Amino acid sequence: MRFAFTDDQLAFRDAVRALLDKECPPAVVRAAWTNADGRSGAAWTALGEMGALGVLVAEADGGLGLSELDAVLLAEETGRAALPEPFVEHVLVGAPIVGGEDYATGAATVTAGDPLVPYADSADAIVRLGHDSFRCAATAASLDSRQSVDGSRRLFSIDGAEPRRALTRSEVSTAYWRGVLGFSAQLVGLAHHLLDVTIVYVTDRRQFGAPIGSFQALKHKLADVRIAIEFSAPLVYRAAYSLAHADPEAAVHVSMAKAAAADAATLAARHALQCHGAIGYSDEHDLHLWMKRVWALAATWGDADWHRDRVARATLDRT
Amino acid sequence: MRFAFTDDQLAFRDAVRALLDKECPPAVVRAAWTNADGRSGAAWTALGEMGALGVLVAEADGGLGLSELDAVLLAEETGRAALPEPFVEHVLVGAPIVGGEDYATGAATVTAGDPLVPYADSADAIVRLGHDSFRCAATAASLDSRQSVDGSRRLFSIDGAEPRRALTRSEVSTAYWRGVLGFSAQLVGLAHHLLDVTIVYVTDRRQFGAPIGSFQALKHKLADVRIAIEFSAPLVYRAAYSLAHADPEAAVHVSMAKAAAADAATLAARHALQCHGAIGYSDEHDLHLWMKRVWALAATWGDADWHRDRVARATLDRT
Amino acid sequence: MDLSWSDSEAAFRAEARDWLAANVPDPPLASGDTREGFAAHLEWEHRLFDARWAVVSWPEAYGGRAASLWEWLIFEEEYYRAGAPQRVTQNGIFLLAPTLFEFGTPAQQERFLSRMASGEETWCQGWSEPDAGSDLAAIASRAVHDAANGGWRLSGQKTWTTRGAFCTHLFGLFRSDPDAERHRGLTYLLVPLDSPGITVRGFGRLDGDEGFAEVFFDNVFVPDDLVLGEVDEGWKVAMATTGSERGLTLRSPGRFLATTNRLVELARTRSADDPLVRQRIAQARIDAEAYQLHTLATVTRITDGEPPGAESSLTKVFWSELDVRLHETALGILGAEAELDDSAWMKGWQFALSGPIYAGTNEIQRNVIAERVLGLPRK
Amino acid sequence: MDLSWSDSEAAFRAEARDWLAANVPDPPLASGDTREGFAAHLEWEHRLFDARWAVVSWPEAYGGRAASLWEWLIFEEEYYRAGAPQRVTQNGIFLLAPTLFEFGTPAQQERFLSRMASGEETWCQGWSEPDAGSDLAAIASRAVHDAANGGWRLSGQKTWTTRGAFCTHLFGLFRSDPDAERHRGLTYLLVPLDSPGITVRGFGRLDGDEGFAEVFFDNVFVPDDLVLGEVDEGWKVAMATTGSERGLTLRSPGRFLATTNRLVELARTRSADDPLVRQRIAQARIDAEAYQLHTLATVTRITDGEPPGAESSLTKVFWSELDVRLHETALGILGAEAELDDSAWMKGWQFALSGPIYAGTNEIQRNVIAERVLGLPRK
């Protein structure tokens, strides 16, 4: 029994964090709201060069041939940095399916989703997991753009996508639960960042002659956020382990992770805004970039209630 | 439009409050845990002499012939004092059905409930509203005692009760909703008392060199209790008005009142205990007498979830 | 207790409902917190004023109907039920006006009230400063008396000024006695925003609309007759305004009843049989009606001549957190679609999140409840 | 990461499970917080000790199995899964013993550990005083050195002493240096409750069981060799105990996993199709497993040689509020029957309510999290 990551896994995470600190500062996230494709540019390329985009692609296929356990901490870091990219769709869902050097290195991008597909306009391939059509399509004939509350998430509904090949049920299921795991990890990373910047703010901001972080009401709000993160992260890591080891309960473990991570990140966003007050309520402050990512990812690929219902089924209806 | 009680109604309430301050101090509530019938003795007699037990009994029948609007504040006061008596069962449910001088004055007691009946051993008549048998029975042949968490609530399951007469559907419905209204009002009164004694305690109790009531965490807990009471009481008063005026939505209004009052009182009990700490965790302190009454009344005659479901039906399924 | 409406009140409701049915713009106007939307909303305000619906509770002399508080509640219910446009004149007619009626000179009332009601002049609130948010008494913007010219010289900065970039006037607090501490030595001034020395910079709120503004004052001259109330007594005057802001006028029950009804419609079309949603809908209706009934009790007390007190803090916490819950429930029903910005609920959610922050954060309000309503020790 | 158990660990689990299946009393014993129930529980402790299950993680010399932390977790899981009796020796073996192992003299360890493990001697905690609850450092009970007789004279009062009326010994903090302030000048003493001058009065907890006691000290003599750790260093010694109390040893994950499983069984028999209940059950399992996984991570860190720090405050808040939620959910399922005292859930609910209060209220714990984990300013 050992519930901890290896030094290699932690070193990979640290390298990705350092890369994102450099290539994906808040200015890059903000720019993605207004640039052409809503993406980071340099950060994506650098992640590709590092191999982070081909973590789950077989070595024979040009990837690193690693497991969900190696990918989960990287997803958490992309959440912490609010990286504006289809990281989960590409790394955890699409690339292992389409494979190939280009996707393993990020030279080409694959996205995923159903009915709405993020970044479909700049992707080279689209994996659709909708229950009616499990298809891996080339980029679509016609794209209808939809506005996400997160301006960097370019959403599209798709028409006349040219199917490249059908996916097997097991491909679909593996891809789906890997995707949910990825978003759960990103939510944990987003929550960490929201807590960190709020701690700095309430320590510096003074009202009534004292730092507002010295007032018990704010202390307890932030303590609750810390508790929520502390007890959701292990569920996410366990879910990664279960997927990596084909645990029969893996899907339930992923649902537990998404429900807990979505609730933790939602709480972190709520308290972060309340602690920042009017200063954080302006779109000139970076806070909203992280909050809106949380709102989007908490709702996508099944919200907390939906995943809790999956857990209830596995717990109560098992015979 | 006028949402306030009349001076007469308030004067009646004040008289009952004064009576209960005198006849039903905490020592009487505590004694009811261990005495023969779990009841107050003198307080019940005095309430009868005042007419408070025959509020809803027709004047021709020896009562005051008043309405739910006159009874609701009295029920609230009996909750505030944690009066150990079948006040709601007698005044709002049973007496208007069985009628007669003895019941109007409290010389005789009628109780109500199904399947469990409080105080069945000391009551002269029992009204059962169970869906299978709507009956007004003489005291039962055999009583099987059940232990409530509130030691003063003597509960019994009943066997071989001798039916006196069947109740009409409308009698049953009126009696049921009046009963729920009465418990809602008692829950508001219980919440008021729990808040009041907690305010006194946290103002006197000092730790870390200051009254614990000066710490923001406790201030905000008690503020939340005050808010919950402030916005549940009007629902209870409106429900009384709707019953008194045979409003077609009266039953829904009563369900809204019970859900809100049960939640408010449950919150008041929870925060009262946490603010009292270990001192309130002992059965030598009076706090538990009020807390356990709250737990019992919040659960009986439909808990908050059950009544919310009734509200949902009326709101969403109405065509 | 009498929860029925009189015939005249019923007639008033019918008249309001008919007029709104015939006049409420469809499709809805663009957000009043954008430059274009603001202009469209001013047009709407002119129509309201011409039909004497702009300020129903005001004297007829200023364009009102001398309506009772009951009639005002009825009008608000009908206004929100009809889905009528946001009131971009709100900071004037709901926040400043009550103070003008109470503290203004006859000349000031003549000068400002009708133009405020018609939307000819629009008012923003100049209270918050970068270092005076929750701690309003930390206001540092200066007002120095200029005896020679019979007026005041303003300098400093206000911020988070709602619709400040679109308004013609600002009412605000300025420190007139630099030696006085905190709540003392402040003066309440009425400031035309076209006065020389004023720079206004609009900026975006959470939802991206340009609903906020920074207002910079560089030796701005304001004549003596634009002081509202007594010099150095601005705090007392301002508190009368926060009273009304937190209490009745800004958030009438009709607003949340209407949101609840929209929520019920949403649930019916989407997930009327999801029991989680059903419980939340039931709680939404319970809370919205509790707020309505609480308001009826308050209006009854006011009608009996009792003033509303610190209870306004209870109200502010309740409606602001109710509004958040209502929108949370709607977003939960929308599921994955909640993320889509074109849903009115996502925009409403972001606005609702400002409720627990502005007009005194809910943390401040809970302190007030604990200390002034419950009597808990300050220290 | 490796979430599998080794063969030897699996064998250890099987042995524990088999023994418990064969020995756990059925019907369950009366509450160990009553005089009769306490005696019955001591019998059980003797059986545990004879089979070397009483203190699995201790050295064999004291009746343990020198089990690893992992094996200890396994034993706890099996213990609670089997519905085995509460551990009335808990304050000794879980709170005092770790301190004795760390600070005790060889003579003290010899003298006390085996008898503590066997239940021959039973220990209660003497910390809280009427005016020293959350504010433990306000302890006023005195210990005056009696050089002539080579010991200490104790006077004062302790209260809320769990099972104090049934135990043979008390460990507690006494003020040995009256001039020292707060955390300084306290000494940790081991006190036989049959010492002359001691009066013990048991009193009822919330559920009515006589689980509390007041202990009065009137010039009670305790020899020097019953001082644990250094004189005047009692706070440091005591904090080691709270560390273990809040952390691993007192509330092992097995406890909440077992409660969750009982909750699932209750829901299956009562309302497996009520979606509200289903959501709460799902959340219960999520939380219980989160607590288990968090513990696995902590044990991994401890095994790697890292000490658990202020994080123990995070743990205490989480498990105590989880326990309350688990019982709240059960009472919700029981509906009107929840009020019946013969339901184990109502008794469990009342015990759960003590969780957020004792071992440092959750308000204190959240302060600790904010200041020591998050680094927020104290003032």
Closest residue in A to B221 (Cα) is: A217
Closest residue in A to C132 (Cα) is: A207
**How far is residue B191's CA from residue B35's CA, in Å, rounded to a whole number?**
26
Sheet holding B110-112, edge to edge: B110-112, B125-128, B135-138, B163-166
Cβ distance A263 to A95 under 8 Å? no
The conformational region for residue A33 under phi > 0 = left, psi -120 to 50 = alpha, else beta, is alpha
Q: What is the mean pLDDT of chain C?
A: 94
Residue B310 binned pLDDT confidence (cut-offs 50, 70, 90):
very high
Chains near B (3 or more Cβ pairs under 8 Å): A, C, D
Q: Is A192 exposed, middle or buried (0-12, 13-18, 19+ CB in 10 A)?
A: buried
At C205, list the tokens. 């709120």
Of the candidates B99, B92, B8, B110, the residue with the CA atom closest to the CA atom of residue B57: B99
Nearest 5°: the CA angle C103, C106, C112 is 85
Cβ distance D200 to D217 under 8 Å? no
Phi, psi of D18 (to 5 degrees): -65, -45
Question: Does pTM top 0.95 for this prediction?
Answer: yes
Each residue's pLDDT expressed in tens, for chain D with a length of 379 residues: 999 999 999 999 999 999 999 999 999 999 999 999 999 999 999 999 999 999 999 999 999 999 999 999 999 999 999 999 999 999 999 989 999 999 999 999 999 999 999 999 999 999 999 999 989 899 999 999 999 999 999 999 999 999 999 999 999 999 999 999 888 999 999 999 999 999 999 999 999 999 999 999 999 999 999 999 999 999 999 887 665 544 566 688 999 999 999 999 999 998 777 888 999 999 999 999 999 999 999 999 988 988 776 688 999 999 999 999 999 999 999 998 999 977 789 999 999 999 999 988 999 999 999 999 999 999 8
- Residue D245: per-residue pLDDT: 47
CA distances from D293 to A232, D17, D289 (A): 10, 21, 6
- Residue C115: per-residue pLDDT: 98
Contacts of A215 in chain B (CB under 8 A): 216
Cis preceding linkage at A86, omega within 30: no
Instruction: Break chain D down into helix, strand, coil percent, rounded to 5.
Output: 50, 15, 35
Active site residue C245: yes
Which residues, 6 or more positions from D33, have their beta carbon under 8 angstroms from its beta carbon? Answer: D162, D163, D205, D209, D210, D211
Contact D3 A199 (CB under 8 A): no
Annotated catalytic residue, options C36, C214, C245, C265? C245
Task: Compute the residue count for chain C.
Answer: 379
Residue D198, classed as helix, strand or coil, is strand
- Residue C245: per-residue pLDDT: 47
Contact A220 B217 (CB under 8 A): yes
At B198, list the tokens. 């907690």
Q: Is the dihedral of CA A28, A31, A35, A37 positive or negative?
A: positive
SS (HEC) of C263-320: HHHHHHHHCCCCHHHHHHHHHHHHHHHHHHHHHHHHHHHHHCCCCCCCHHHHHHHHHH
Which residues, 6 or more positions from B86, have their beta carbon under 8 angstroms from its beta carbon? Answer: B94, B109, B110, B111, B112, B118, B119, B123
Contact A217 B217 (CB under 8 A): yes
**How far is residue C75's CA from residue C20's CA, in Å, rounded to a whole number?**
10
Cβ distance D318 to A231 under 8 Å? yes
- Residue A162: per-residue pLDDT: 67
- Residue B302: per-residue pLDDT: 95
- Residue A111: per-residue pLDDT: 93
Phi, psi of C130 (to 5 degrees): -50, -35
Task: Tell me which residues of chain D, numbers 209 to 238, contact chain B at a CB-CB cutoff of 8 Å.
Answer: 212
Pairing of strands B154-159, B163-166: unpaired
The DSSP secondary structure of C5-43, one letter per residue, reads: --HHHHHHHHHHHHHHHHHS-SSPPPPTTSHHHHHHHHH
- Residue A278: per-residue pLDDT: 95
The DSSP secondary structure of D108-164, one letter per residue, reads: HHHHHHHHHHHTSS-EEEE--BTTBSS-GGG---EEEEEGGGTEEEEEEEE-S-TTT
C341: nearest CB among A148, A274, A279:
A148
Cβ distance B202 to B222 under 8 Å? yes
Contacts of B308 in chain C (CB under 8 A): 278-279, 282-283, 286
**How far is residue A131's CA from residue A172's CA, in Å, rounded to a whole number?**
9
B9-65 residue pLDDT tens: 999 999 999 999 999 999 999 999 999 999 999 999 999 999 999 999 999 999 999
| Maximum pairwise Cα distance, chain A | 65
Amino acid at residue number C5 = W
At A307, list the tokens. 């995943």
Residue A14, classed as helix, strand or coil, is helix
Each residue's pLDDT expressed in tens, for chain A with a length of 319 residues: 999 999 999 999 999 999 999 999 999 999 999 999 999 999 999 999 999 999 999 999 999 999 999 999 999 999 999 999 999 999 999 999 988 999 999 999 999 998 899 999 999 988 888 744 445 555 556 889 999 999 999 999 987 766 777 888 888 999 999 999 999 999 999 999 999 999 999 999 999 999 999 999 999 999 999 999 999 999 999 999 999 999 999 999 999 999 999 999 999 999 999 999 999 999 999 999 999 999 999 999 999 999 999 999 999 986 5
Task: Compute the residue count for chain D.
Answer: 379
Residue C244 binned pLDDT confidence (cut-offs 50, 70, 90):
low
The DSSP secondary structure of C129-194, one letter per residue, reads: BTTBSS-GGG---EEEEEGGGTEEEEEEEE-S-TTTTT-SEEEEEEES-TTS-TTSSEEEEEEETT
**Residue the block writes with tokens 């308000």:** D363
Q: Is D216 exposed, middle or buried (0-12, 13-18, 19+ CB in 10 A)?
A: middle
Chains near C (3 or more Cβ pairs under 8 Å): A, B, D
- Residue B134: per-residue pLDDT: 44
pLDDT at residue B132 is higher than 60: no
**How far is residue C202's CA from residue B105's CA, in Å, rounded to a whole number?**
72
Q: Is D52 exposed, middle or buried (0-12, 13-18, 19+ CB in 10 A)?
A: middle
**How far is residue C153's CA from residue C172's CA, in Å, rounded to a whole number?**
14
Residue B231 binned pLDDT confidence (cut-offs 50, 70, 90):
very high
CA distances from B137 to B113, B177, C244 (A): 11, 20, 57
C336: nearest CB among A206, A279, A299:
A299
Q: Is the dihedral of CA D225, D229, D230, D235 positive or negative?
A: negative
D366: nearest CB among A220, A237, A305:
A220
pLDDT at residue C364 is higher than 80: yes
B187-223 residue pLDDT tens: 999 999 999 999 999 999 999 999 999 999 999 999 9
The DSSP secondary structure of D28-48, one letter per residue, reads: PPPPTTSHHHHHHHHHHHHHH
At A25, list the tokens. 């500062």
- Residue C278: per-residue pLDDT: 93
Helix H or strand E encompassing B8: helix B7-23
C7 interface with B at CB cutoff 8 Å: no
- Residue B142: per-residue pLDDT: 83
Which residues, 6 or more positions from C18, have their beta carbon under 8 angstroms from its beta carbon? Answer: none
C165-177 residue pLDDT tens: 999 999 999 999 9
Of the candidates D116, D51, D133, D62, the residue with the CA atom closest to the CA atom of residue D84: D51
Q: How far C49 CA lies from chain B's nearest CA (Å)?
A: 27
pLDDT at residue B230 is higher than 60: yes
CA distances from C352 to A104, C242, C348, D138 (A): 43, 19, 6, 45
Bridge partners of D3?
Answer: none
Which residues, 6 or more positions from A154, have their beta carbon under 8 angstroms from its beta carbon? Answer: A37, A38, A118, A119, A120, A121, A122, A145, A148
Task: Tell me which residues of chain C, numbers 334 to 363, contact chain A at a CB-CB cutoff of 8 Å.
Answer: 334-342, 346, 350, 353-354, 356-358, 361-363
Instruction: Break chain A down into helix, strand, coil percent, rounded to 5.
Output: 60, 10, 30
